[in-house]
Amino acid sequence: MSDLPKARIATASLAGCFGCHMAILDIDERLIDLMQLVDVDRSPLTDKKRFTTRCDIGIIEGGCCNEENVHVLHDFRRNCDVLIALGQCAIMGGLPAMRNAIMHSDAPLRECLEEAYITGKYIRNTTHNVPNDPALPLLLDEVYPCSEVVEIDYQIPGCAPGGDIIFDTLSKLLTGKFRGFEREMIKFD
Amino acid sequence: MSGTKKETGFTFTIDGVEITAYAGETIMEAADEAGVYIPRLCDHEGLRHQGSCRVCTVKAGGRSVAACTQPAAPGQAVENESPHLTKMRRDLVEMLFHEGNHLCPICEASGNCELQAMAYRLDMTETTRFPYLEPCRALDASHPDIALDTNRCISCGRCIRASEDVDGKGVFGYVGRGIHRRVAVNGENLADTDAQVTDHAISSEVCPVGCIIRKRVGFVTPIGEREFDKGLIGHEIEARRK
């Protein structure tokens, strides 16, 4: 195995809670085996903000809730041969997507922001404004799953996915042996 | 019927496995007894068959039929676990996910949910081709002991049949037509009905998803230790197979 050139991996967290990145660490000591096979390029784990080279695998946590998420996702699609959606938020929007429909409103985003910053019972916001600094990425009308924005090659389900399914899928993909998940490993929670 | 069982027994096959059935039995009833699992959502033991979710669709004599309502026929060759049928079932389940708001990570039924368990069994892990409809649906927490989160309702009608036939109440019923058909309560909200937490319709086994919620017991069993964390849906039926 060691004579093979190492695969390059990149990761990003979009509209997620970073739980899926924490779950990558749940691979535990097998990370040492995994690191024999891969180098990590752009990722919060390396703190590299840009791609230094084209990558073999891109791993995306979270869906797209703002403009910046869409830019990052497009950048990953352009620079990665295989793109993996990791966890329910990346797969179907997850918790952030609750704002799309669960509130009974014609303008769910506005209602969400107003309740969060202005009308909510326990809010102490002296400006009485929704944050609107130009540096803040523009929120999208809805939260979108990654697959609605770019083509996604594989999805690893879970909230967060267990260390086992992440390790198993990555090591099989890296050795060309991935043929789908063991049914017992599929979990949406 | 049970008195005449012995005289009228006959055989048919499911995926080449010989199954014994008795007059009046559906394909699914005979399959369950023989330990062959046919996926289903709207059908539930002890409730009358409805045949509406179509997840139990099998091919019998070249036709697609609902195994829960189609009577077994002597000598019939039934197709159950073919790639074609599995794909069709997976698409049906996926569409049910997309038609409502099924957010497993926030749902207290996660792990006990038959819709979710069916998705596991049918390998629903590929990138979806269907749009999310994300409807606005009501949450009815008016009742002191019961809540209804209709975001999760799949309109299987199990609560309707349980309430009518077992409880003799008729708390639930269908309203609307086509894609607008929904399960509704017989009153302004649930608190106006005679629903009680002890009703069969409210019991954990009747609602296949997390729509009917018994208050204050949601997380008695933690996530990860629930029914379908222990085994795939249908494994109890498959265990009967000799």
Q: Is-contact B58 B27, C-beta < 8 A?
A: yes
Q: Which helix (H) or strand (E) holds A77?
A: helix A67-79
Residues in contact with A110: Cβ distance below 8 Å, sequence separation at least 6, in sequence order = none
Would you call A30 an interface residue with chain B, using a CB distance cutoff of 8 Å? Answer: no
pLDDT digits (tens, 9 = 90+) for B162-193: 999 999 999 999 999 988 999 999 999 999 99
Q: For chain A, how many structural domains are there in total?
A: 1
Domain boundaries, chain B: 2-79, 87-217
Has residue A117 been placed in a domain? no
Interchain CB contact of A159 with B (< 8 Å): yes
CATH class assigned to B87-217: alpha beta
**DSSP letter string, A152-171:** -SEEE--SSPPHHHHHHHHH
Supply the mean pLDDT for chain A.
93
- CA triplet B73, B77, B81: central angle to 5 degrees? 120
Touching check for A161 and chain B: CB below 8 Å?
no
| Nearest residue on chain B to A156, alpha-carbon basis | B125
Q: Tell me whether residues A180 and B123 touch, CB distance under 8 A.
A: yes
B125 and A186 within 8 Å at the Cβ level: the answer is yes
The pLDDT assigned to A102 comes to 61
Which of A26-43 are b and which e, b meaning 16 or more Cβ less than 10 Å from the residue's Cβ? bbeebeeebeebbebbbb
| CATH code where residue A26 lies | 3.40.50.700
Rounded to an integer, the average pLDDT of B214-241 is 94
Q: Are strands B10-14 and B77-79 parallel, antiparallel or unpaired?
A: parallel
Q: Find the mean pLDDT for residues A126-143.
A: 92
If you search the block for the tokens 């739980």, which residue do you land on? A19
- The CATH classification of domain B2-79, taken from the options 3.30.70.60, 3.40.50.1470, 3.40.1010.10, 3.10.20.740: 3.10.20.740
Using a CB-CB cut-off of 8 Å, the residues of chain B touching A88 are 103-105
Structure ipTM: 0.91
Structure tokens at B236: 């109890």
Amino acid at A97: A
Residue A114 lies in a domain: no
* A12–B contact, CB cutoff 8 A: no
Average pLDDT over residues B41-57: 97
pLDDT (mean) for A31-43? 94
In this complex, the residue of B111, B124, B127 whose CB is nearest that of residue A189 is: B111
Residues A111 and A103: beta-carbon distance below 8 Å:
yes
- Chain B residue numbers touching A94 (CB-CB < 8 A): 103, 105
* CA–CA distance, B161 with A31 (Å, rounded to integer): 52
CB distance B103–A187 less than 8 Å? no
Cα B137 to its chain centre, rounded Å, is: 21
Residue A127 counted as domain residue:
no
* B6: three-class secondary structure by DSSP: helix
Is the pLDDT score of A45 beyond 60?
Answer: yes
Burial pattern B169-207, b for ≥16 Cβ within 10 A else e, equals: bebbeeeeeeeeeebbbeeeebeebebeeebbbbbeebb
Residues B33-60 have a mean pLDDT of: 97
What are B104-118's pLDDT values in tens digits? 999 999 999 999 999
Residue A51 domain flag: yes
Q: Is A97 on the interface with B (CB under 8 A)?
A: yes
Residue A103 pLDDT: 57
What is the reported pLDDT for B1?
47
pLDDT in tens, A5-16: 899 999 999 999
Q: Which residues of B touch A97 (CB under 8 A)?
A: 103, 132, 134
Whether chain B has a CB inside 8 Å of the CB on A85: the answer is: yes
Structure tokens that stand for A172 in this block: 């099989």
pLDDT of B72-101, one tens digit each? 999 999 999 999 999 999 999 999 999 999
